[in-house]
Amino acid sequence: MYSAQENRYENMKYNRCGRSGLKLPAISLGLWHNFGDIDNFDNARNMIKSAFDLGITHFDLANNYGPPEGSAEINFGRILKEDFKSYRDEMIISTKAGYKMWEGPYGDHGSKKYLVSSLDQSLNRLGLDYVDIFYHHRPDPETPLEETMQALDLIVKQGKALYVGISNYGAEESKKAIDILRELGTPCIINQVNYSILDRWVEDGLLDVLEKENVGSIIYSPLSEGRLTNRYLNGIPSDSRAAGASVFLHESDITKELLIKIEKLNDIAESRGQKLSQMALSWILRRDSITSVLIGASKVSQIEECVKCIDKLEFSEEELELIENIVKR
Protein backbone atom coordinates (compact mmCIF):
# COMPACT_ATOMS: atom_id res chain seq x y z
CA MET A 1 0.00 0.00 0.00
CA TYR A 2 1.42 3.37 -1.06
CA SER A 3 2.11 5.86 1.74
CA ALA A 4 3.07 9.38 0.66
CA GLN A 5 6.18 11.14 1.96
CA GLU A 6 5.39 13.19 5.07
CA ASN A 7 7.56 16.12 3.92
CA ARG A 8 6.02 16.33 0.44
CA TYR A 9 4.81 19.93 0.81
CA GLU A 10 8.00 21.40 2.23
CA ASN A 11 9.87 22.22 -0.98
CA MET A 12 7.13 22.77 -3.57
CA LYS A 13 5.95 26.30 -4.37
CA TYR A 14 2.18 26.84 -4.66
CA ASN A 15 0.68 29.75 -6.58
CA ARG A 16 -2.84 31.14 -6.38
CA CYS A 17 -4.80 30.55 -9.57
CA GLY A 18 -6.08 33.94 -10.65
CA ARG A 19 -8.73 35.39 -8.37
CA SER A 20 -9.88 31.96 -7.17
CA GLY A 21 -9.19 30.30 -3.84
CA LEU A 22 -7.32 27.49 -5.61
CA LYS A 23 -3.56 27.12 -5.46
CA LEU A 24 -1.61 25.02 -7.95
CA PRO A 25 1.92 23.66 -7.59
CA ALA A 26 4.48 25.56 -9.64
CA ILE A 27 5.20 22.24 -11.35
CA SER A 28 2.25 20.14 -12.52
CA LEU A 29 2.41 16.74 -14.22
CA GLY A 30 0.84 16.31 -17.64
CA LEU A 31 -0.28 12.87 -18.79
CA TRP A 32 -0.28 13.68 -22.50
CA HIS A 33 2.46 11.10 -23.19
CA ASN A 34 3.62 7.90 -21.45
CA PHE A 35 0.37 7.01 -19.66
CA GLY A 36 -1.51 5.23 -22.45
CA ASP A 37 -2.06 1.54 -23.08
CA ILE A 38 1.07 1.33 -25.23
CA ASP A 39 3.18 2.45 -22.24
CA ASN A 40 4.49 0.62 -19.19
CA PHE A 41 1.83 0.80 -16.47
CA ASP A 42 4.22 0.23 -13.56
CA ASN A 43 6.42 3.07 -14.78
CA ALA A 44 3.39 5.34 -15.04
CA ARG A 45 2.36 4.42 -11.51
CA ASN A 46 5.85 5.09 -10.15
CA MET A 47 5.90 8.50 -11.84
CA ILE A 48 2.58 9.49 -10.25
CA LYS A 49 3.77 8.37 -6.81
CA SER A 50 7.12 10.14 -7.14
CA ALA A 51 5.47 13.33 -8.38
CA PHE A 52 3.09 13.38 -5.42
CA ASP A 53 5.97 12.73 -3.01
CA LEU A 54 7.68 15.82 -4.46
CA GLY A 55 4.66 18.03 -3.79
CA ILE A 56 3.10 17.86 -7.26
CA THR A 57 -0.60 17.80 -6.49
CA HIS A 58 -1.96 18.65 -9.94
CA PHE A 59 -2.34 15.96 -12.60
CA ASP A 60 -3.55 17.07 -16.01
CA LEU A 61 -5.39 14.88 -18.51
CA ALA A 62 -7.67 15.16 -21.53
CA ASN A 63 -10.27 12.85 -23.02
CA ASN A 64 -8.01 12.07 -25.99
CA TYR A 65 -4.77 11.34 -24.11
CA GLY A 66 -3.33 7.88 -24.70
CA PRO A 67 -2.94 6.28 -27.12
CA PRO A 68 -5.52 5.00 -27.67
CA GLU A 69 -7.79 7.92 -26.78
CA GLY A 70 -9.15 7.66 -23.26
CA SER A 71 -6.55 5.18 -22.05
CA ALA A 72 -4.58 7.74 -20.01
CA GLU A 73 -7.74 8.51 -18.01
CA ILE A 74 -8.42 4.79 -17.54
CA ASN A 75 -4.88 4.09 -16.35
CA PHE A 76 -4.82 7.12 -14.08
CA GLY A 77 -8.20 6.08 -12.67
CA ARG A 78 -6.77 2.68 -11.82
CA ILE A 79 -3.79 4.31 -10.06
CA LEU A 80 -6.19 6.55 -8.12
CA LYS A 81 -8.26 3.59 -7.01
CA GLU A 82 -5.36 1.35 -6.05
CA ASP A 83 -2.94 3.89 -4.54
CA PHE A 84 -4.49 7.31 -3.95
CA LYS A 85 -8.00 6.78 -2.62
CA SER A 86 -7.10 8.29 0.74
CA TYR A 87 -5.33 11.24 -0.92
CA ARG A 88 -8.07 12.41 -3.30
CA ASP A 89 -8.73 15.61 -1.36
CA GLU A 90 -5.04 16.53 -1.64
CA MET A 91 -5.07 16.24 -5.44
CA ILE A 92 -6.12 18.54 -8.26
CA ILE A 93 -7.26 16.45 -11.22
CA SER A 94 -8.06 18.17 -14.48
CA THR A 95 -9.30 16.97 -17.84
CA LYS A 96 -10.31 18.55 -21.14
CA ALA A 97 -12.53 18.07 -24.17
CA GLY A 98 -12.38 19.68 -27.59
CA TYR A 99 -10.84 17.18 -30.00
CA LYS A 100 -12.44 14.25 -31.82
CA MET A 101 -13.40 11.35 -29.60
CA TRP A 102 -16.15 9.48 -31.43
CA GLU A 103 -17.80 9.32 -34.84
CA GLY A 104 -20.69 11.48 -35.94
CA PRO A 105 -21.55 15.15 -35.47
CA TYR A 106 -21.48 15.13 -31.65
CA GLY A 107 -17.98 13.79 -30.91
CA ASP A 108 -15.81 16.86 -31.45
CA HIS A 109 -15.36 20.62 -30.95
CA GLY A 110 -17.40 22.73 -28.51
CA SER A 111 -21.14 22.05 -28.48
CA LYS A 112 -22.95 21.62 -25.19
CA LYS A 113 -23.89 18.09 -26.32
CA TYR A 114 -20.25 17.14 -26.86
CA LEU A 115 -18.76 18.74 -23.76
CA VAL A 116 -21.32 17.34 -21.30
CA SER A 117 -21.19 13.87 -22.87
CA SER A 118 -17.41 13.88 -23.00
CA LEU A 119 -17.03 14.80 -19.34
CA ASP A 120 -19.48 12.07 -18.36
CA GLN A 121 -17.28 9.60 -20.24
CA SER A 122 -14.11 11.00 -18.62
CA LEU A 123 -15.57 10.69 -15.14
CA ASN A 124 -16.50 7.09 -15.87
CA ARG A 125 -12.97 6.30 -17.08
CA LEU A 126 -11.42 8.03 -14.07
CA GLY A 127 -13.82 6.48 -11.58
CA LEU A 128 -14.61 9.92 -10.12
CA ASP A 129 -17.74 11.88 -9.27
CA TYR A 130 -16.09 15.16 -10.26
CA VAL A 131 -12.86 16.68 -11.57
CA ASP A 132 -11.30 19.74 -10.05
CA ILE A 133 -10.79 21.61 -13.33
CA PHE A 134 -12.52 21.01 -16.66
CA TYR A 135 -11.24 22.78 -19.77
CA HIS A 136 -12.54 23.43 -23.22
CA HIS A 137 -9.49 22.18 -25.10
CA ARG A 138 -9.55 24.50 -28.12
CA PRO A 139 -11.72 27.24 -29.64
CA ASP A 140 -14.50 26.07 -31.94
CA PRO A 141 -15.27 28.60 -34.69
CA GLU A 142 -18.49 26.79 -35.66
CA THR A 143 -20.17 26.81 -32.24
CA PRO A 144 -21.28 30.08 -30.64
CA LEU A 145 -18.89 30.90 -27.82
CA GLU A 146 -21.93 31.53 -25.61
CA GLU A 147 -23.01 27.89 -26.00
CA THR A 148 -19.57 26.54 -25.16
CA MET A 149 -19.31 28.71 -22.06
CA GLN A 150 -22.88 27.83 -21.05
CA ALA A 151 -21.82 24.18 -21.18
CA LEU A 152 -18.92 24.88 -18.79
CA ASP A 153 -21.28 26.78 -16.50
CA LEU A 154 -23.76 23.89 -16.54
CA ILE A 155 -21.03 21.37 -15.72
CA VAL A 156 -20.04 23.30 -12.60
CA LYS A 157 -23.64 23.70 -11.50
CA GLN A 158 -24.17 19.97 -11.98
CA GLY A 159 -21.25 19.32 -9.62
CA LYS A 160 -19.17 17.52 -12.24
CA ALA A 161 -16.30 20.05 -12.01
CA LEU A 162 -15.29 22.48 -9.28
CA TYR A 163 -13.65 24.96 -11.66
CA VAL A 164 -13.51 25.55 -15.39
CA GLY A 165 -10.90 26.86 -17.77
CA ILE A 166 -10.03 27.27 -21.41
CA SER A 167 -7.08 26.03 -23.42
CA ASN A 168 -5.36 27.30 -26.55
CA TYR A 169 -7.48 30.46 -26.58
CA GLY A 170 -5.81 33.62 -27.87
CA ALA A 171 -6.10 37.06 -26.33
CA GLU A 172 -9.35 38.17 -27.98
CA GLU A 173 -11.06 34.79 -27.60
CA SER A 174 -9.98 34.58 -23.96
CA LYS A 175 -11.41 38.01 -23.12
CA LYS A 176 -14.78 37.10 -24.64
CA ALA A 177 -14.89 33.71 -22.87
CA ILE A 178 -13.90 35.26 -19.53
CA ASP A 179 -16.61 37.92 -19.84
CA ILE A 180 -19.33 35.38 -20.69
CA LEU A 181 -18.43 33.06 -17.83
CA ARG A 182 -18.29 35.96 -15.40
CA GLU A 183 -21.82 36.99 -16.40
CA LEU A 184 -23.01 33.40 -15.93
CA GLY A 185 -21.57 33.35 -12.42
CA THR A 186 -18.98 30.63 -13.11
CA PRO A 187 -15.61 32.37 -13.44
CA CYS A 188 -12.90 31.17 -15.78
CA ILE A 189 -9.95 30.56 -13.47
CA ILE A 190 -7.25 29.47 -15.93
CA ASN A 191 -6.04 29.28 -19.53
CA GLN A 192 -3.74 26.44 -20.59
CA VAL A 193 -1.40 27.41 -23.44
CA ASN A 194 1.97 26.52 -24.90
CA TYR A 195 4.88 28.84 -24.14
CA SER A 196 8.64 28.54 -24.04
CA ILE A 197 11.86 30.46 -24.58
CA LEU A 198 11.52 29.51 -28.25
CA ASP A 199 7.77 30.09 -28.66
CA ARG A 200 6.57 33.50 -27.47
CA TRP A 201 3.10 33.94 -28.99
CA VAL A 202 1.41 34.41 -25.61
CA GLU A 203 3.47 37.55 -25.03
CA ASP A 204 1.55 39.21 -27.87
CA GLY A 205 -1.37 40.29 -25.71
CA LEU A 206 -2.60 37.08 -24.07
CA LEU A 207 -0.59 37.27 -20.85
CA ASP A 208 -1.66 40.89 -20.48
CA VAL A 209 -5.34 39.92 -20.80
CA LEU A 210 -5.05 37.12 -18.24
CA GLU A 211 -3.21 39.35 -15.79
CA LYS A 212 -5.71 42.19 -16.18
CA GLU A 213 -8.67 39.83 -15.78
CA ASN A 214 -7.08 37.98 -12.82
CA VAL A 215 -7.16 34.64 -14.63
CA GLY A 216 -4.44 32.08 -14.04
CA SER A 217 -2.22 30.55 -16.69
CA ILE A 218 -0.70 27.09 -16.93
CA ILE A 219 1.94 26.38 -19.54
CA TYR A 220 2.37 23.23 -21.58
CA SER A 221 5.36 22.35 -23.80
CA PRO A 222 7.69 24.57 -21.72
CA LEU A 223 10.65 22.64 -23.15
CA SER A 224 9.40 23.08 -26.74
CA GLU A 225 8.80 19.36 -27.25
CA GLY A 226 12.25 18.53 -25.87
CA ARG A 227 14.20 21.09 -27.91
CA LEU A 228 15.13 22.98 -24.74
CA THR A 229 17.21 20.14 -23.33
CA ASN A 230 20.73 18.93 -23.98
CA ARG A 231 19.44 15.75 -25.64
CA TYR A 232 20.20 16.86 -29.19
CA LEU A 233 23.57 18.53 -28.72
CA ASN A 234 25.45 15.38 -29.79
CA GLY A 235 23.06 14.00 -32.36
CA ILE A 236 19.51 12.64 -32.25
CA PRO A 237 19.10 9.78 -29.73
CA SER A 238 17.19 6.78 -31.01
CA ASP A 239 14.73 6.99 -28.09
CA SER A 240 13.99 10.72 -28.54
CA ARG A 241 10.77 12.25 -29.82
CA ALA A 242 12.54 13.64 -32.88
CA ALA A 243 13.65 10.13 -33.83
CA GLY A 244 10.24 8.60 -33.18
CA ALA A 245 6.75 9.06 -34.51
CA SER A 246 5.93 12.31 -32.74
CA VAL A 247 3.32 14.39 -34.54
CA PHE A 248 4.86 17.61 -33.24
CA LEU A 249 8.63 17.06 -33.50
CA HIS A 250 10.59 15.55 -36.36
CA GLU A 251 14.25 14.97 -37.09
CA SER A 252 14.10 17.75 -39.69
CA ASP A 253 13.12 20.21 -36.94
CA ILE A 254 16.52 19.84 -35.27
CA THR A 255 18.28 22.27 -37.59
CA LYS A 256 21.84 23.57 -37.47
CA GLU A 257 20.50 27.04 -36.62
CA LEU A 258 18.46 25.65 -33.74
CA LEU A 259 21.41 23.69 -32.35
CA ILE A 260 23.55 26.84 -32.30
CA LYS A 261 20.89 28.54 -30.16
CA ILE A 262 20.52 25.50 -27.91
CA GLU A 263 24.29 25.31 -27.34
CA LYS A 264 24.42 28.98 -26.31
CA LEU A 265 21.38 28.64 -24.06
CA ASN A 266 22.96 25.57 -22.52
CA ASP A 267 26.08 27.60 -21.72
CA ILE A 268 23.94 30.12 -19.82
CA ALA A 269 22.19 27.32 -17.93
CA GLU A 270 25.52 25.79 -16.92
CA SER A 271 26.76 29.16 -15.69
CA ARG A 272 23.65 29.29 -13.47
CA GLY A 273 24.34 25.81 -12.12
CA GLN A 274 21.32 24.38 -13.94
CA LYS A 275 20.56 22.01 -16.76
CA LEU A 276 19.02 23.64 -19.82
CA SER A 277 15.65 22.01 -19.10
CA GLN A 278 15.67 23.44 -15.57
CA MET A 279 16.56 26.92 -16.79
CA ALA A 280 13.77 26.78 -19.39
CA LEU A 281 11.23 26.05 -16.64
CA SER A 282 12.70 28.69 -14.32
CA TRP A 283 12.56 31.25 -17.14
CA ILE A 284 8.78 30.76 -17.40
CA LEU A 285 8.10 30.60 -13.66
CA ARG A 286 10.04 33.80 -13.02
CA ARG A 287 6.87 35.62 -14.16
CA ASP A 288 4.43 36.24 -11.32
CA SER A 289 1.56 35.96 -13.82
CA ILE A 290 2.33 32.28 -14.54
CA THR A 291 0.53 29.93 -12.17
CA SER A 292 2.15 26.61 -13.11
CA VAL A 293 4.08 24.78 -15.79
CA LEU A 294 3.11 21.33 -17.02
CA ILE A 295 5.96 18.90 -17.43
CA GLY A 296 5.86 15.62 -19.29
CA ALA A 297 8.03 12.73 -18.23
CA SER A 298 8.94 9.20 -19.26
CA LYS A 299 10.81 8.32 -16.08
CA VAL A 300 11.00 9.34 -12.43
CA SER A 301 14.43 10.97 -12.73
CA GLN A 302 13.04 13.53 -15.19
CA ILE A 303 10.40 14.64 -12.69
CA GLU A 304 13.00 14.90 -9.93
CA GLU A 305 15.21 16.98 -12.20
CA CYS A 306 12.43 19.36 -13.26
CA VAL A 307 11.26 20.08 -9.73
CA LYS A 308 14.71 21.41 -8.83
CA CYS A 309 14.09 24.42 -11.08
CA ILE A 310 12.10 25.96 -8.23
CA ASP A 311 15.34 26.54 -6.34
CA LYS A 312 16.53 29.06 -8.93
CA LEU A 313 13.75 31.27 -10.29
CA GLU A 314 15.70 34.54 -10.22
CA PHE A 315 17.43 35.85 -13.34
CA SER A 316 19.82 38.75 -13.64
CA GLU A 317 19.11 41.42 -16.27
CA GLU A 318 22.27 40.29 -18.03
CA GLU A 319 21.07 36.69 -18.23
CA LEU A 320 17.68 37.72 -19.60
CA GLU A 321 19.32 39.96 -22.19
CA LEU A 322 21.66 37.18 -23.30
CA ILE A 323 18.72 34.80 -23.71
CA GLU A 324 16.80 37.36 -25.77
CA ASN A 325 19.78 38.01 -28.04
CA ILE A 326 20.26 34.29 -28.67
CA VAL A 327 16.61 33.62 -29.46
CA LYS A 328 16.16 36.65 -31.74
CA ARG A 329 19.10 35.76 -34.00
Domain extent listing, the chain: 14-225+283-311
Using left for φ > 0, alpha for ψ between -120 and 50, and beta otherwise, residue 14 falls in: beta
pLDDT of residue 233: 80
pLDDT digits (tens, 9 = 90+) for 279-320: 999 999 999 999 999 999 999 999 999 999 999 999 999 999
CA–CA gap between residue 301 and residue 78 (Å, rounded): 23
Question: Is the distance from CB of 93 to CB of 132 less than 8 angstroms?
Answer: yes
Q: At what angle do helices 300-307 and 276-285 cross, to 10 degrees?
A: 50
pLDDT of residue 243: 46
The CATH code for residues 14-225+283-311 is 3.20.20.100
Average pLDDT for runs of 10 along the chain of length 329? 96 97 98 97 98 98 98 98 98 98 98 98 98 98 98 98 98 98 98 97 98 98 93 64 52 83 97 98 96 97 98 98 94
CA–CA gap between residue 1 and residue 109 (Å, rounded): 40
Say what the pTM is: 0.94
